[in-house]
Amino acid sequence: MSGRTHARACPERTCLGCRERAAKGDLLRIVEIEGECVPDPRGTLPGRGAYVHPTLVCLDLAVRRRAFPRAFRGRGPFDTAALRRSLERGAG
């Protein structure tokens, strides 16, 4: 062995709101359950995931751009009220 240590690659995802790439751990995973966008902070819920920065600004941008129907490959609009409440509680 050469004695070199290999740096682990950190997975990156793109925020649906601001479209910036960030480390997966810095973003909030969101899944769609029965037409509702649900936060998945542990990343264990089944289904297709979408990622946003955990801020209301990025959530608002994603909603305005209609990014959730594209990300979930489904017909929208999706209800984001529970997601908004979760982010407001986290920010407060």
- For residue 17, the enclosing domain spans 12-91
How many residues can be counted in the chain?
92
Query: Residue 61: inside a domain, yes or no?
Result: yes
The DSSP bridge partners found for residue 26 are none
CATH code for the domain of 21:
3.30.1230.10
What's the number of domains the chain is made of? 1
pTM of the model: 0.84
Measured from the Cβ of residue 18, the count of other Cβ atoms closer than 10 Å reads 15
Asked, for residue 7, whether it belongs to a domain, the answer is no
One digit per residue, pLDDT tens: the chain, 92 residues?
Answer: 556 666 778 899 999 999 999 999 999 999 999 989 999 999 999 999 999 999 999 999 999 999 999 999 988 788 999 899 999 987 54
Tokens encoding 10: 């950190």
77 lies in a domain? yes
Q: Does residue 4 sit within a domain?
A: no
User: Is residue 2 a part of any domain in this protein?
Assistant: no
In a domain, residue 3? The reply is no
Q: Is residue 1 part of a domain?
A: no
- Among residues 38, 8, 2, the alpha carbon closest in space to that of 24 is found at 8
